[in-house]
Structure 1
């Protein structure tokens, strides 16, 4: 469904034969017609961690790079991609949506409208039985909730539109509060969990399931419980209590963490019925890579599945391969701020004072490092079995961090081969980490929180966390575990902001470090020296995105503070 029907722009989904008008009534005249419309709604309604540069989907605002270089994970090789605007603190209400990261803003409202239309007219389909209508209702409520969740984490409260507008309606709907939007998402998720199937036949992977809806609920409640929103006062004031509730709850309630923990535990418990489970049988050096590389593996609860195989000169691959490997738009360099988060295999911190033992340092790290980072002498893909990111090396140009991103790039991709993007939306590992974080905040580092983190660490050969951690110490360890396990899957930017740590030095502000790597004559190892390649700027207003001035000037939206 998601491949064969999605290679056309939305305007062509309801192509008509000559002389035949295709109207809304046509869409709801049969189950087959409705399925075509549902396919189009999935295409615009399920966001991707990748950028496709798809002019058919996004005719006026396109982006070319993943979000990792906005954070302490990475740096863009080139300066014209959207992360550079963030790193310079240049996010404003007058810049284009693509520069502000949210190139899907308008598309989300179209997806929400499609969902509302289908929900209103589903009973008009003559050959739709009750089981099918229940499933479709669940799917549309899930897609609607997902689009609201994507806006919540960017803007806070947004207008809630739960019906299709007519031309006679007043379109100037004001923003709802954070609490309103969270409750709306949770209600849609609850309805979706009730109505969706646990699983589908293999040819329908990519459709929403009960577990996907429960994971969306858990993620939403985790964000809602976090310091950015779960606060008596916001990160910046809008001037009055009513408006401040557009960007935070207006009170701090620790029970929100328990609600998030309960929802995540429910997702973990629900997963087996949908045949979802952690990948644990490929070996500690391969479990992690299999989970993010292999399409439709058991750990993936939902992935965006718009495209079939893409060559390395097509997006998304063209947007983050190094120019020194392929004459692409510019690579994603993994920076030392991120690399130094990896523990050694024995669970102790690695030290990076500079020296002549770089490869020894790398070899001591958590096995997930080598499955994520393309470092000097490692394999990048089938065409580049030996990376050279040392000074003067073949792949060192513009590699500010000293390493290139390997994760997300499947081994199958090469000069003469293509690969299907594995655009993960939810995978089981996230549910365990959501549960551990929320449970610690609600109850402290209880055994169940430890168990949830340790199962993730254990499948990659990492030792269990110490049992004597305080609540604060466990918080730091589970946050670091998220950084490593969910790296480059479009979590870090939102975690940084919901935790309100963007202003901490080396996170989204201050010095960003790379490694300057040099050969050692007569030695197989390399010398390395950390150095600052950039100082970034983060302004407090950037904890939430701005609405574009073109929308605010219409007179019904309250702009987020500082813009």
Structure 2
């Protein structure tokens, strides 16, 4: 048996520098993997250990930053005050294959995701070990054995999906490589081949009768289910069909994506899944675990593992309050600051588009749709309800705190005034989504970040169906279901394929604002789209006159230097490409 190692393809990482796994032990007087898989008790327990590498998502990016801050949807108030912040390096294009993005600043900051590349490979390796070692001897009951294998395959598909959407196609590895000495034959597969590998795992899991559709008990929170398999398949096929990975616009890929998403939506909606009735409250809740839960939308949520075992204050809801709350409260920073570009993406409440584009590169002169009734000096009136649920803006009613009524004052000199310091928003906007009101009066928050949810699958279906067959009834019904939950009118009938594409992209942006979709959507829609939307982030500067009147000016907050094609994908770690000549580096890195 091998000594105490975990392999991330070519990188051998001593467990002493990572989270120790008591079920991955070799002859040291205690137990070996061979011993584990001789036991009908320890074999299922090994599958539990395979979950250790599921990452945190949400604001798990150093330093407690939402991934949306690395897109045109938001920035972080900590920049430019703290030059060490990763977002500052991002804006300055200061990363390389030896200085990777999204790496925590030190080994002590384990409450942030560390190495997004290695941790997914460690998860893949662990699931491979389990899948390759389950037998009739260690799991005698065939129903249980089938269920556990389906769970492991779904988990492996999740790890692979999480890896390739950020780093691009990877080698397909379905066995444990510990002990291998020669990695020269390992090469990257195509994105399509990786997608088919993921689809195969998901299809096998979905076909397993004993594999549950949802987790119904609290101890099973965060576990893989058949619904997760449907979601991963939907996402992977959608990306495989998108312009970044389908430059020739292969219609067959779009059909596969449409079919996978329809299969997912039909299966889930006919078995108790449904959109949560209140958009705002949905992101302030903790999914309940029951056969008939109150939250019927969540497919998989991240757990509260944002800190060490005793650091409950580092749970997602608590840290959201500490790192993303308006300056009225004793938080470290207001953190996530939505941009004017995101605000402009929200429709009017009657469904008309207020901002059609910009007349200049600095986005200071918006192209206003005269039919919308939008007024740039009174911009927050009659907007999509999801705008009010997601963003705090100047003049918004915050609520009663300790007996006092609070309104957002993001005007210059106001209580929440726009500024370039860490404790104020640089854009004039603050985050409302995810920030639990229960925390305002010394309460507690149980809020969890959603990794997969039904609303996203409806939008996957609308987009893929439109690309495969045009704006059919299926496409319209899917997107209008999402809009109805937000109390928005149906999309106009008679849209062309191109018009529907533009509307569904806008819909995805506002429906999933501050979630992680924008980061990946802006890339999968192709290099031209990504570069164009990444060039600038702006805000709204309000000034209060002596007579109390307010006026505003659109301002440039940052012009990122990373608005270049190489940022479509993150770099492969330098050590990997050195150890494995066939592991080609991503373009530009």
Normalised-by-shorter TM-score class:
0.7 to 0.9
Q: Indicate how the Cα distance of structure 1 residues 175 and 505 shifts in structure 2: closer, same or farther if over 3 A, else same.
A: closer
Q: Indicate how the Cα distance of structure 1 residues 14 and 167 shifts in structure 2: closer, same or farther if over 3 A, else same.
A: closer
For residues 386 and 34 of structure 1, the distance between their equivalents in structure 2, rounded to whole angstroms, comes to 56
C-alpha RMSD of the superposition:
3.1
5+ residue gaps, structure 1, are: 1-8, 54-61, 233-251, 281-286
Q: Of residues 222, 235, 242 in structure 2, which corresponds to 1:206?
A: 222
User: 1:450: how far off?
Assistant: 1.1
For residues 573 and 39 of structure 2, the distance between their equivalents in structure 1, rounded to whole angstroms, comes to 40
1:432-489 Cα offsets, whole Å, 9 max, x none, are: 1000101111111112111111111111111111112111111000000000001111
1:186-227 Cα offsets, whole Å, 9 max, x none, are: 111111211222233232232222221011101101000000
For residues 190 and 381 of structure 1, the distance between their equivalents in structure 2, rounded to whole angstroms, comes to 48
Q: Does 1:24 align with 2:70?
A: no
CA contact (8 A) 2:167 2:571 kept: yes
1:56-112 Cα offsets, whole Å, 9 max, x none, are: xxxxxx553111111110011123333333333334223134359983211111111
CA contact (8 A) 1:27 1:34 kept: yes
For residues 426 and 302 of structure 2, the distance between their equivalents in structure 1, rounded to whole angstroms, comes to 31
Show the counterpart of 1:513.
Answer: 538
Q: Indicate how the Cα distance of structure 1 residues 153 and 502 shifts in structure 2: closer, same or farther if over 3 A, else same.
A: farther
Q: Of residues 159, 162, 176 in structure 1, which corresponds to 2:171?
A: 159
Show the counterpart of 1:394.
Answer: 415
Q: Indicate how the Cα distance of structure 1 residues 273 and 38 shifts in structure 2: closer, same or farther if over 3 A, else same.
A: farther
For residues 438 and 412 of structure 1, the distance between their equivalents in structure 2, rounded to whole angstroms, comes to 39
Q: Does 1:433 align with 2:472?
A: no
For residues 261 and 342 of structure 2, the distance between their equivalents in structure 1, rounded to whole angstroms, comes to 27
1:387-411 Cα offsets, whole Å, 9 max, x none, are: 3211112222441211111112222
For residues 191 and 127 of structure 1, the distance between their equivalents in structure 2, rounded to whole angstroms, comes to 18
Show the counterpart of 1:67.
Answer: 67
Show the counterpart of 2:20.
Answer: 11
The secondary structure found in structure 2 opposite 1:515 is: strand
Task: Report 1:80-119 matches (<5 A).
Answer: 80-98=84-102, 103-119=115-131
For residues 530 and 194 of structure 2, the distance between their equivalents in structure 1, rounded to whole angstroms, comes to 29
Show the counterpart of 2:50.
Answer: 41
Q: Indicate how the Cα distance of structure 1 residues 317 and 29 shifts in structure 2: closer, same or farther if over 3 A, else same.
A: farther
Q: Indicate how the Cα distance of structure 1 residues 381 and 25 shifts in structure 2: closer, same or farther if over 3 A, else same.
A: farther
CA contact (8 A) 2:285 2:446 kept: no
Q: Of residues 494, 497, 515 in structure 2, which corresponds to 1:471?
A: 497
Q: Indicate how the Cα distance of structure 1 residues 265 and 395 shifts in structure 2: closer, same or farther if over 3 A, else same.
A: same
For residues 164 and 421 of structure 1, the distance between their equivalents in structure 2, rounded to whole angstroms, comes to 37
Q: Does 1:300 align with 2:295?
A: no
For residues 155 and 24 of structure 1, the distance between their equivalents in structure 2, rounded to whole angstroms, comes to 31
Q: Indicate how the Cα distance of structure 1 residues 178 and 449 shifts in structure 2: closer, same or farther if over 3 A, else same.
A: same
The secondary structure found in structure 2 opposite 1:145 is: helix
Q: Indicate how the Cα distance of structure 1 residues 113 and 494 shifts in structure 2: closer, same or farther if over 3 A, else same.
A: same
Q: Of residues 195, 198, 201 in structure 2, which corresponds to 1:185?
A: 198
CA contact (8 A) 1:343 1:366 kept: yes
Q: Of residues 239, 255, 259 in structure 2, which corresponds to 1:223?
A: 239
For residues 20 and 259 of structure 1, the distance between their equivalents in structure 2, rounded to whole angstroms, comes to 51
1:308-356 Cα offsets, whole Å, 9 max, x none, are: 9943796465444456643425511111011000111011123597999
Q: Of residues 537, 543, 557 in structure 2, which corresponds to 1:533?
A: 557
The secondary structure found in structure 2 opposite 1:278 is: coil
For residues 388 and 33 of structure 1, the distance between their equivalents in structure 2, rounded to whole angstroms, comes to 57
Task: Report which stretch shifted further, 436-445 or 384-393.
Answer: 384-393
For residues 426 and 407 of structure 2, the distance between their equivalents in structure 1, rounded to whole angstroms, comes to 18
User: 1:501: how far off?
Assistant: 5.3
1:105-127 Cα offsets, whole Å, 9 max, x none, are: 11111111110111122226646
CA contact (8 A) 2:484 2:490 kept: yes
User: 1:520: how far off?
Assistant: 4.8
CA contact (8 A) 1:342 1:349 kept: yes
For residues 530 and 33 of structure 1, the distance between their equivalents in structure 2, rounded to whole angstroms, comes to 61
Q: Indicate how the Cα distance of structure 1 residues 171 and 418 shifts in structure 2: closer, same or farther if over 3 A, else same.
A: farther
Q: Indicate how the Cα distance of structure 1 residues 38 and 521 shifts in structure 2: closer, same or farther if over 3 A, else same.
A: farther
With normalisation by structure 1, the TM-score equals 0.84
Show the counterpart of 1:369.
Answer: 387
The secondary structure found in structure 1 opposite 2:450 is: strand
Show the counterpart of 1:350.
Answer: 354
User: 1:362: how far off?
Assistant: 1.3
Show the counterpart of 1:235.
Answer: none
Q: Indicate how the Cα distance of structure 1 residues 113 and 312 shifts in structure 2: closer, same or farther if over 3 A, else same.
A: closer
With normalisation by structure 2, the TM-score equals 0.80
5+ residue gaps, structure 2, are: 1-17, 105-112, 288-294, 356-363, 369-373
CA contact (8 A) 1:506 1:512 kept: no
Q: Indicate how the Cα distance of structure 1 residues 392 and 123 shifts in structure 2: closer, same or farther if over 3 A, else same.
A: same
Show the counterpart of 1:289.
Answer: 280
CA contact (8 A) 1:141 1:189 kept: yes
Q: Indicate how the Cα distance of structure 1 residues 532 and 178 shifts in structure 2: closer, same or farther if over 3 A, else same.
A: same
For residues 158 and 504 of structure 1, the distance between their equivalents in structure 2, rounded to whole angstroms, comes to 22
CA contact (8 A) 1:413 1:419 kept: yes
Show the counterpart of 1:136.
Answer: 148
CA contact (8 A) 1:67 1:490 kept: yes
Q: Does 1:338 align with 2:336?
A: no
CA contact (8 A) 2:195 2:236 kept: yes
Show the counterpart of 2:134.
Answer: 122
CA contact (8 A) 1:310 1:419 kept: no
For residues 31 and 291 of structure 1, the distance between their equivalents in structure 2, rounded to whole angstroms, comes to 40
Q: Indicate how the Cα distance of structure 1 residues 343 and 51 shifts in structure 2: closer, same or farther if over 3 A, else same.
A: closer
For residues 480 and 88 of structure 2, the distance between their equivalents in structure 1, rounded to whole angstroms, comes to 36
CA contact (8 A) 1:199 1:275 kept: no
